[in-house]
Amino acid sequence: MKFITTSLKFLPLFSLLFMVMIGSSWQIGVFPLMPAFLLIPVYYWLVYHPSWLPLGGLFVIGLLYDSLMGHGLGLTSFFLMLSAFLGPPIRSYLRPDKFPLIWFGFGLFSGGYLLLYGLIISGGFALFVSWVNGIILYPLVAWVLSHLHGRIQKHV
């Protein structure tokens, strides 16, 4: 039973891994969903249960993302780990029962992330479209993650 309880805590990392795997190949028109698609579960877990996103897991997922997308290894890992450090102070301002506030917070979080990311990798209009797609898809992905979160809470 302890194994099951422990393994359930890794589901947030598996949700990130899932987003990397499907998001690296999905596009809307000619614009890729990444990297904003990856930020949805990162933000969700930072708001609702940041302790389930270990830095080592974020580092490995960042390396995997960089290798799949052909970027310099470690850049995404650095930004994901920086997000994990910024999450707890910001979390105190967000109320989980106010979804529009959480969604607005995601827009700010992902916008800042993608602005810094774009300055380093020289991302252009495609990065902006990825951000807009991420904001549009946030409610759907957050709904799925909230059901996953509810299931985990029952067993942990």
Say what the pLDDT of residue 149 is: 85
CA atoms within 13 A on the CB side of 55: 9
Mean pLDDT along residues 12-38:
80
127 DSSP 8-state letter: H
Which contiguous run of DSSP H or E holds residue 133? Answer: helix 125-155
H or E element at residue 27: strand 27-28
Q: Is it the case that residue 139 has pLDDT exceeding 90? A: yes
| pLDDT for residue 130 | 85
Note the pTM of the prediction, 2 decimals: 0.85
